[in-house]
A and B are shown apart, each in its own frame.
Chain A
C-alpha cells in the first residue's frame, strides 16, 4: 500500500491554452483524505495556479463537483482510499458544461434552467402573517426527497441528453418544479406546466437514469422527471377533454 497517489488533472487556462491538457501531480494519500483535500494540497504545496471551487467540505454547498475517473462526484465526498487500487485518479471539470478554467465549469446555464421553472411557492392568496399552513409529515414526505437538491450539477454532467442539447432544462430544474408541484401548500402547478410540457421539458428525457445514480443527495431526479411525464400526460388529457367539450384550453 503506497502512501502517495497520482492525480492526472485536466488543465485549461484560457489565457495561455488553446485546449485542455493533462498535468500529473503526486500527492500523499491517507485514509481520510478526500479528493478535495488532494486538490487543496496541490494548490498549497505544489501548484498555486490550479483553480477549483469548494467551500463547505461537508457535501452540502454543492460547489466542488468534478469528474473523477469519468464519474461526476463531489470532490469533498470522494476519498482517495477508494482509488488506491487504480493508482491514478483522473480529475477534470464536470462534463457537458463549458470549462471556465481548469476544474471550474460554467454552471450559469444550469442556474438559468433552475430559475426558469418558477421554483417558488405559488399561492392565490397569502395566509395571515401569524399562522402557518398545515402540512402533515406524510404530506411533506411527498416532496421531501426532491427538496434535498444542492444544485451541484453532477446530474447535468451525467445526462447525455443535456450533453446533446444544453437547452434541455435537465434533471435538477425539472425536479425542482416537481418539488413545488407536489407541495400541498402550492397552487402553481398549472403555471409550471408549460415548462414541463415544452420541447426542452420532461419529454427530452429518455430515462437514462444515470443522474439518479450520481446524485450525492439521493434526490432521484430521474423519478421526478418521469413522474412529470405522467403529470404532463394527464394535463394533456384533461385539456383535450375540455377542448372536446368546447370549453377551450385550460
Chain B
C-alpha cells in the first residue's frame, strides 16, 4: 500500500494551489447531439462568444452515437404537422406540454434539413430525395434515417461541423462534479481534468447541461457506461426540480443479457415478434389484427408504442410463453422473411450486432429479444425555452424535461429533440451571455474549494463499502421496484433500499488513491449521481397513484386518473436532503385527453 500513501502525500503537497481556473461566456456540459447543437447555435448567433464545450468523453463517444433507428420530421406530402402533433401527444398519454410539442413539430424538419446541409448522409430514395421509414406510434412514415446508424451519423456530422467555428473550444475528458451558484444565479462549475486529476473552476455567464439520460440506474439497459444521470443530479442538488422522473421507457427489443439495442427500425422494416409457439402474441394485447409479415401497418402490431409492447412481453413471460435462452427469457424478433438483401441494405448494423454478441445471423434465424431500460422521459425541469428555474442554467436533451415526451416517448422524437431544443438552448444562452452577467471567478473560489475538498475526500475514502456492490444493489432494486410493472410493496422496498444505499455510500472505500485517469474515483462520483436520480425516480413513482404511459401500477392503480394526475410530477431535494414531490399542470392547447388507440382502432384516426 505504499502507492496509496504516496499518492495521498502528493495531493497534500498539491494543496491550496491545485485548482485551475478558466472563464468562458457559455459552458456546455455534454458533447452529445444536444450539447453540440447548442454550441453551434450559440456560435452562429454570436460569433464573438467564447463557448466552452466540456465533456467527460470525447464528443463522438457520447451515447447519441448508439441511436440506430431514426429522427422524426414531417416531410411527405400526405403527412402534416398536426398528425405529428397528435401522435406525439397521444403517444405521451397526454402528459406532454402541447405548446412545446407544437414548437417541436414545426421545427423538426428544418433541423433535419440543416443536418443534411452539414453533410449528414440521410438515406435516400432512388431519385436522390430523402427517404423516411415507419416507426412505432407514428401513423405516417416520417422517420428520417441513415441506414441503422442514425445517431452515429448525426453525432459525427455535428462534431465535425462544430470544428469550423473558432468560437467553440473544447475540454475533452473533463468531468463536471458540481455547479457553482452565486447570488441565486448559476455562475459556473467545477470539473476534474481526468488526465491529471486536477480540479478546474470554470466561470461562465450561462451553463447548459446536456448530459444525457440515466438508464444506467437499471441492471439491464441499452445505455452506455457513461449514461449516469450526472446533469440531472447536478441540478437536483441545487434544488432544481426533476420532472416526470417516474417515466422510464423500456425498449421492447434489447438483446437478453447485455441489453444491447435492436432498433425499432427492425420492426419498421417488417420484422415480427413471436413467442415460443411462433405466435404473434401482440394481437392478444389490443394491437391486432395481425398484419402480414413484411407489411407493417403504422401503429398496429409490432408498430404499436413501446410501453404497450414491453408490457405485452411481461404478460407473456408470466404466462410462460417466452423462449428460454442462456441469458434469460426472450421472445423472437423474426426478420427472415425480409431476405438477405433488404437486411443488408437497411439493417446492416443489426445483423452485425446479433452475429457478434449472440451468434445469431438474422438472415437465417430469429433474434431473441427482451425489454430493457432505455430512455428517461423525465429530467431537469425547464420552461419551453430550455431555461431552468435557476437563472443562468439551461438544460437540453435527454437530461432535460422540456415537456415533449409526456408519459412515453415516441421513438425518433428524441433525436429530433436534440436539434430543435439544442439550438434553442444555444441561442438562449448566447443571449444571456451577451448581457455580461459573468461573475468574477475569484468570488466562486471559496465554494469551489469547499466542493473540491469533498471530492478529494471521496478519492481517499477508506470505508468498508464497495463501489461495485452498491451499484449492483441499486440496479437490482430499481429493476424490481420501478420496472415495467410496479407493485406497491416492491416500490416501497425500492425507496427504502435507495435510502439505505445512500447512507452506505457515505461509508465507501476506494482502493485507488491516485489522480491520473482514476476511473474508480469517477465511477464513485457517478454512483452518487445515480443514487440521487434513483431516489427522484422512485419517489415520483410512488407518488403517482395511477397508470399512465410507461408508469403502470396494475395492482393498486390500474387506470389513468386525469382528475388527479394530468399533472407533471416534480421531485425536489429539500435542504437537508429529503425528497419532496409536488405537481405542475400540463399545458393543454388543443388536444383534450382521450384514449390511446393502437392496432385496428388506430386506423380510424389516421389522416386526422
B10 nearest in chain A by CB position: A15
B225 near A55 with CB under 8 A, answer yes
* One of B117, B258, B326, B516 near A121 (C-beta < 8 A): B117
Chain A residues, CB < 8 A from B510: 48
CA–CA, A59 and B68, complex, Å: 13
B586 at interface, CB cutoff 8 A? no
A48 near B514 with CB under 8 A, answer no
CA–CA, A183 and B129, complex, Å: 15
B357 near A58 with CB under 8 A, answer yes
Q: Interface centre among A15, A77, A119, A137, by most B CB within 10 Å? A: A15
CA–CA, A43 and B257, complex, Å: 19
CA–CA, A150 and B349, complex, Å: 13
Q: Which of A94-121 contact B (CB under 8 A)?
A: 100-102, 104, 106-108, 111, 115, 118-121
B163 at interface, CB cutoff 8 A? yes
Chain B residues, CB < 8 A from A186: 119
Chain A residues, CB < 8 A from B153: 147
- Known contacts A56-B66, A60-B65, A63-B61: does B117 contact A140 (CB below 8 Å)? no
B356 at interface, CB cutoff 8 A? yes
A219 to chain B, nearest CB (A): 12
B512 nearest in chain A by CB position: A49
B520 at interface, CB cutoff 8 A? yes
Q: Mark B95-138, 1 if CB is under 8 A from A, else 0.
A: 00000000000000010011011110111101111100000000
B63 at interface, CB cutoff 8 A? yes
B261 nearest in chain A by CB position: A58
Chain A residues, CB < 8 A from B260: 57-58
* One of B127, B224, B516, B520 near A136 (C-beta < 8 A): B127
A150 near B516 with CB under 8 A, answer no
A132 at interface, CB cutoff 8 A? yes
Chain A residues, CB < 8 A from B468: 43-45, 48
Q: How large is the interface on A (under 10, 10 to 19, 20 to 34, 35 or more residues)?
A: 35 or more
A133 near B57 with CB under 8 A, answer no
B518 at interface, CB cutoff 8 A? yes
CA–CA, A42 and B503, complex, Å: 26
Q: Mark B52-86, 1 if CB is under 8 A from A, else 0.
A: 00000110111101100000000000000000000
A70 at interface, CB cutoff 8 A? no
B119 near A180 with CB under 8 A, answer yes
A150 near B357 with CB under 8 A, answer no
B195 at interface, CB cutoff 8 A? yes
- Known contacts A16-B6, A49-B512: does B110 contact A129 (CB below 8 Å)? yes
How many pairs of residues, A versus B, come closer than 8 Å at their CB atoms?
163
Chain B residues, CB < 8 A from A51: 517-519
CA–CA, A130 and B126, complex, Å: 20
A131 near B113 with CB under 8 A, answer yes
A111 to chain B, nearest CB (A): 6
Q: Mark B161-191, 1 if CB is under 8 A from A, else 0.
A: 1011000000010000000000000000000
A248 at interface, CB cutoff 8 A? no
Q: Mark B235-261, 1 if CB is under 8 A from A, else 0.
A: 000000000000000000000011011
- Known contacts A47-B511, A183-B119: does B160 contact A129 (CB below 8 Å)? no
Q: For the complex, would chain A's binding face be called helix, strand, loop or mixed by DSSP majority? A: loop
B225 near A57 with CB under 8 A, answer yes
B327 at interface, CB cutoff 8 A? yes
* One of A48, A101, A151 near B516 (C-beta < 8 A): A101
B516 near A14 with CB under 8 A, answer yes
B358 at interface, CB cutoff 8 A? yes
Chain B residues, CB < 8 A from A15: 3, 6-7, 10, 514-516
A47 nearest in chain B by CB position: B511
A47 to chain B, nearest CB (A): 7
Q: Interface centre among A53, A106, A129, A150, by most B CB within 10 Å? A: A53
B353 at interface, CB cutoff 8 A? yes
B512 near A136 with CB under 8 A, answer no
A128 nearest in chain B by CB position: B113
Q: Interface centre among A107, A137, A185, by most B CB within 10 Å? A: A137
CA–CA, A239 and B510, complex, Å: 63
B148 to chain A, nearest CB (A): 11
* One of A115, A127, A147, A183 near B117 (C-beta < 8 A): A127
B439 at interface, CB cutoff 8 A? no
A32 near B164 with CB under 8 A, answer no
B258 near A57 with CB under 8 A, answer yes
* One of B161, B327, B512 near A48 (C-beta < 8 A): B512
A54 at interface, CB cutoff 8 A? yes
B346 to chain A, nearest CB (A): 12
CA–CA, A127 and B122, complex, Å: 16
A111 near B172 with CB under 8 A, answer yes
Q: Interface centre among A15, A58, A108, A111, by most B CB within 10 Å? A: A58
Q: Which of A23-63 contact B (CB under 8 A)?
A: 31-32, 43-45, 47-49, 51-63
Q: Which of B320-366 contact A (CB under 8 A)?
A: 326-327, 349, 352-353, 356-359
B149 at interface, CB cutoff 8 A? yes
B147 nearest in chain A by CB position: A144
B152 nearest in chain A by CB position: A60
* One of A133, A136, A147 near B126 (C-beta < 8 A): A136
CA–CA, A102 and B519, complex, Å: 11
CA–CA, A129 and B473, complex, Å: 50
Chain B residues, CB < 8 A from A165: none
B519 to chain A, nearest CB (A): 5
Chain B residues, CB < 8 A from A14: 516
For the complex with contacts A43-B468, A61-B60, A77-B356, 10 further pairs of A-B residues with Cβ separation under 8 Å are A15-B515, A51-B517, A56-B225, A60-B349, A61-B66, A62-B65, A118-B163, A120-B160, A121-B161, A137-B124
What would be 30 A-B contacts, judged by CB atoms less than 8 Å apart? A15-B7, A15-B514, A32-B327, A32-B357, A47-B511, A48-B510, A51-B519, A54-B225, A55-B57, A56-B224, A58-B260, A60-B149, A61-B62, A61-B65, A61-B66, A61-B224, A62-B60, A63-B57, A63-B61, A77-B356, A101-B517, A111-B172, A121-B161, A131-B113, A134-B128, A140-B124, A144-B121, A150-B60, A151-B58, A176-B160
Report which B residues bind A (CB closer than 8 A): 3, 6-7, 10, 57-58, 60-63, 65-66, 110, 113-114, 116-119, 121-124, 126-130, 149, 152-153, 156, 160-161, 163-164, 172, 195, 224-226, 257-258, 260-261, 326-327, 349, 352-353, 356-359, 467-468, 510-512, 514-520
| 9 closest A-B pairs by CB | A134-B128, A121-B119, A55-B224, A49-B512, A44-B468, A101-B517, A136-B128, A56-B224, A48-B511
Report which A residues bind B (CB closer than 8 A): 13-16, 31-32, 43-45, 47-49, 51-63, 77, 100-102, 104, 106-108, 111, 115, 118-121, 123, 126-127, 129-137, 139-140, 143-144, 147-148, 150-151, 176, 180, 183, 185-186
